[in-house]
Chain A
Amino acid sequence: MKPGLRRLLLVAAPGLALVLWALAGAVLFGAALPPDQRAGLGAALAPALHGSGAILFGWWLAGAALAGWLAVRLHARHVRAPARLADAARLLADNADAPLLQADAPGAPAALAEAVNRLAGQRQTLRTDMARLVAEAQQKVAQERDQLGALMAELRQSVVVCNLDGRILLYNDHARGLFHRVSGGQPIAGGAELIGLGRSIHAVIDRALIDHARETVDRHIARGDMAVSAQFVTTTPSGSLLHVVLAPVRPQGGAPDAISGYVLLLDDITRDYAAQSRRDRSLTELTEASRASLANMQAALDMLDYPDLEPAERDGFHAIVRDEVAAMGQRLAAMTADASQEILTRWPLQEMLGDDLLAAAAQHVLAQTGRVAKVENADGELWLRLDSFSLIQALGALAESLSGPQGMPSLTLRLAPAATPGWAHLDLVWPLDPAAPPAGASGCAQAVTRDIAERHGGELWLEQDRPAGLSFLRFLLPTAEAGPEAAALEARPEFYDFDLFAASDSSRSLDDQPLERLAYTVFDTETTGLNPGQGDEIIQIGAVRILNGKLLGGERFDQLVDPGREIPPESIPYHGIRPEMVRGQPRIAEVLPAFHAYASDTVLVGHNVAFDMRFLQMKEAATGLRFDQPVLDTLLLASIAQPHEPSHSLEAIAARLGVEITHRHNAAGDALVTAQVFLRLLPLLGARGIVTLGQARAEAEHSYYARLRY
């Protein structure tokens, strides 16, 4: 019923009721009279009604108006005001930021409103407190995670943390370097195709081995052992040996068997193992060869004891002894020449840039002697394998011992490659003083430092360069081929995602999963042209990963590809890739397997991705690699999220969503922009009720652009 009509009824109803009541009274009264009296009354009243009926009508009208006014007032106060209060209270219950209740009449509604407002106020306070507590807790957790992340990044050991499904939720840069090396060192994607957040560790370590180690851990736990880790050694496809320690992640104070994941500590023992095997083998060979030689000599000597030998026989046995002595000598010489370094260097040495060593040593010498030592380095690229701490301590002690009656001589620290390949000279140089031979410089200081030199498999001696008027103590130190894996990473890569602890391989199909919880590979390709069917080829693949709604900047895929054909000059403005840039780059047959591994177990995302997919599908027959995972297109998604916008080019969407474009028309740059666009599209899609992958795919198929094209 319309409000106007209802109001009219409300006003008229008391008047109507009054007239009905009066009429009913009159009818009742009339009906009670005998018929002759009723007729008489009617005859008597009719003229009076005729004459003064207006007064009666006016009286009724006044009464009706008064009653109508009263009814409206009563209705407003006892029906409409409480209903309004109830509406406002409901609003307040649903939304804490709604305005407080205001009673427009004093009395009971006002008191009710006040009571509700007080409740709302208390709720608001509680909510603010909760929000503050949650924010504080989150900040603390974030801080701890950052600390852990920083710690992991600095650890020299390779660490990977997985959840129970084997999904990686934390790793450090060393682990990435390790997997990169043991994967055969293909220079594609820097190991990101093997190790990454949310990826399965089983791609690199056999599931059965990990399961076996976990069973061992479970047995330890069941027995109540203190140490519950398990270890195993595994080989990789490239033939490397990995030593793995597996330790469970257990909640503090929780049930002892409630394991939420496990930590893997990995060590590439290939080199150590090979060195040890070589050592063992050469030792065994030497022993056996020596036994044989000794046997030959002994037998020959025994024969020489026979008194009745012919001279020729005697000479023969003598020759055998001489021959064997010579052979033993040669074996020993060969053995010392080639294995001495391996046999001696068992002290853990680290790799260090020569410049860094000199700077640290000069600083220590300054602190120790108060003398600024000059620093000379013949080769700035020289890397050393050393125990830097004890070496620097030794240099400080040696410098201190040079102090003579004239005080501290001027000092120079000099580093140069030695004549023997694989070795370098580190010299502590001071002016030669003919009057005071530096006897004190050697002696006891040297006895300690000699150990340190030998720890490096090297040597230490005192040398004098008379023409130059210099004395120096010379350390012979082993060089390293190059520094440890240079961590050339930009910004702070995401090496951890603890949300995965909670994640579990769900039995639900991908289509039922929320878009926010999925892993994506957002990619873009650059090509020589638009027609893969007519020989156009991929010349660059760029991709980034998205996991749990976060962009993983540290796990990028960025690879130029040699197309095996010329790059049309007219296409160069579009991608900026000149022929010389792809020369020496891997061919698509090498890159595609790496990209396939990188994209495995993820949803592919691209802008106008059908174009890129056509190029990938053209290669399916040749490489046997099928990209059959679900695919999402940001072009289609944008047209669904923002149907009234005129343009859905990547630039236009990025500009609308506030994504900055840095390297347009570079596969990696475009992939990054597409990923950011995709992440900002997700909430817009959610507002339209598109939450799961299945919904997104269904909507995309029905979108305007999809219908336009297919």
Chain B
Amino acid sequence: MTDRVLIADDEPNIVVSLSFMLKREGYEVLVAPDGTQALAMIRGERPRLVLLDAAMPGMTGFEVCEAVRADPDLSGIRIMMLTAKGRDTDIARGMGAGADAYVTKPFSTRDLIVRIREMLA
């Protein structure tokens, strides 16, 4: 069974590239344009990994992350924050909220796919 990955980001320009890459890598890709829909999809579709942008309309990525970690039903889901917020305090907040990894934009897609493979291994 292929692993399901949710990309939650309000910027289509990154979503296009990421979903293209992940599909080529053989993952099933879901897309959510804001935090609220992302949380709904996480509950409904149970992806194994969420690539979560921190700054989204509706719920922010941090809030989505906190909500997922607060729900025991969703305990197996891995979360990778992918965000332009690069200050130390932002990283601390993301890790504190329960993210498994925090990647600051811009990033190399090659490194990213390596990390995704490791997380889903």
**Interface set of A (CB-CB < 8 Å, partner B):** 287-292, 294-300, 302-303, 306, 313, 316-317, 320, 323-324
Name the B residues within 8 Å of A299 (CB-CB). Answer: 14, 17-18, 21, 106, 109
| Chain A residue with the shortest CB-CB distance to B24 | A306
The answer to whether B104 and A296 touch across the interface, beta carbons within 8 angstroms, is: no
The answer to whether A291 and B17 touch across the interface, beta carbons within 8 angstroms, is: no
What total of A-B pairs shows CB separation below 8 Å?
62
Name the A residues within 8 Å of B18 (CB-CB). Answer: 299
The answer to whether B84 and A302 touch across the interface, beta carbons within 8 angstroms, is: no
Name the B residues within 8 Å of A316 (CB-CB). Answer: 16
Instruction: Jot down 21 A-B pairs with beta carbons below 8 A, ordered by A.
Output: A287-B84, A288-B84, A288-B85, A291-B86, A291-B106, A292-B84, A294-B105, A294-B106, A295-B82, A295-B106, A296-B14, A296-B17, A298-B108, A299-B14, A300-B16, A302-B21, A302-B108, A303-B21, A317-B16, A320-B17, A324-B13
Complex CA–CA separation, A298 to B82 (angstroms)? 14
Most chain A beta-carbon neighbours within 10 Å: one of B86, B105, B110: B105
Complex CA–CA separation, A289 to B55 (angstroms)? 11
The answer to whether B110 and A302 touch across the interface, beta carbons within 8 angstroms, is: yes
The answer to whether B86 and A287 touch across the interface, beta carbons within 8 angstroms, is: yes
Q: Mark B97-110, 1 if CB is under 8 A from A, else 0.
A: 00000001111111
Complex CA–CA separation, A299 to B109 (angstroms)? 6
B 53-84 contacts with A by CB, 8 A: 55, 82, 84
| Chain B residue with the shortest CB-CB distance to A302 | B109
Is B3 interfacial (CB 8 A cutoff)? no
The answer to whether B13 and A291 touch across the interface, beta carbons within 8 angstroms, is: no
The answer to whether A291 and B84 touch across the interface, beta carbons within 8 angstroms, is: yes
A215 to chain B, nearest CB (A): 31
Most chain A beta-carbon neighbours within 10 Å: one of B18, B106, B107: B106
Name the A residues within 8 Å of B82 (CB-CB). Answer: 295
Q: A316-B16, A323-B13 are in contact. Are A289 and B109 (CB under 8 A)?
A: no
B21 to chain A, nearest CB (A): 6
The answer to whether A320 and B16 touch across the interface, beta carbons within 8 angstroms, is: yes
Complex CA–CA separation, A292 to B55 (angstroms)? 10
Is B45 interfacial (CB 8 A cutoff)? no
Complex CA–CA separation, A303 to B13 (angstroms)? 12
B79 to chain A, nearest CB (A): 18
Most chain B beta-carbon neighbours within 10 Å: one of A296, A299, A306, A320: A299
| Chain A residue with the shortest CB-CB distance to B105 | A295
Name the B residues within 8 Å of A303 (CB-CB). Answer: 17, 20-21, 109
Q: What range describes how many residues of B lie at the interface?
A: 20 to 34
B118 to chain A, nearest CB (A): 19
A288 to chain B, nearest CB (A): 4
Name the B residues within 8 Å of A295 (CB-CB). Answer: 14, 82, 84, 105-107
Name the A residues within 8 Å of B20 (CB-CB). Answer: 303, 313
| Chain A residue with the shortest CB-CB distance to B107 | A295
Q: Mark B1-45, 1 if CB is under 8 A from A, else 0.
A: 000000000010110111011001000000000000000000000
Name the A residues within 8 Å of B108 (CB-CB). Answer: 298, 302
B61 to chain A, nearest CB (A): 13
Name the A residues within 8 Å of B107 (CB-CB). Answer: 295, 298
The answer to whether A298 and B21 touch across the interface, beta carbons within 8 angstroms, is: no
B9 to chain A, nearest CB (A): 9
Name the B residues within 8 Å of A313 (CB-CB). Answer: 20
The answer to whether A292 and B105 touch across the interface, beta carbons within 8 angstroms, is: yes
Given contacts A292-B105, A313-B20, 11 further A-B contacts (CB under 8 A): A289-B84, A290-B84, A292-B84, A295-B107, A296-B13, A299-B14, A299-B109, A302-B109, A302-B110, A317-B17, A320-B17
Complex CA–CA separation, A306 to B110 (angstroms)? 12
Name the B residues within 8 Å of A291 (CB-CB). Answer: 84, 86, 104-106
Name the A residues within 8 Å of B14 (CB-CB). Answer: 292, 295-296, 299
| Chain B residue with the shortest CB-CB distance to A303 | B17
| Chain A residue with the shortest CB-CB distance to B10 | A292
The answer to whether B13 and A320 touch across the interface, beta carbons within 8 angstroms, is: yes
Most chain A beta-carbon neighbours within 10 Å: one of B13, B55, B82, B107: B13
| Chain A residue with the shortest CB-CB distance to B14 | A296
> Which are the 9 A-B pairs with shortest beta-carbon distances?
A295-B105, A299-B17, A291-B84, A295-B106, A294-B106, A296-B13, A302-B109, A292-B84, A288-B84
The answer to whether B55 and A288 touch across the interface, beta carbons within 8 angstroms, is: yes
Complex CA–CA separation, A300 to B107 (angstroms)? 11
Name the A residues within 8 Å of B105 (CB-CB). Answer: 291-292, 294-295
A290 to chain B, nearest CB (A): 8
A605 to chain B, nearest CB (A): 60
Name the B residues within 8 Å of A292 (CB-CB). Answer: 11, 14, 84, 105
The answer to whether B106 and A300 touch across the interface, beta carbons within 8 angstroms, is: no
Complex CA–CA separation, A292 to B108 (angstroms)? 13
Complex CA–CA separation, A290 to B104 (angstroms)? 12
Name the A residues within 8 Å of B24 (CB-CB). Answer: 306
Name the A residues within 8 Å of B17 (CB-CB). Answer: 296, 299-300, 302-303, 317, 320
| Chain B residue with the shortest CB-CB distance to A324 | B13
A286 to chain B, nearest CB (A): 11
Pick from A290, A298, A320, A323: contact of B109, CB under 8 Å? A298
Complex CA–CA separation, A333 to B115 (angstroms)? 37
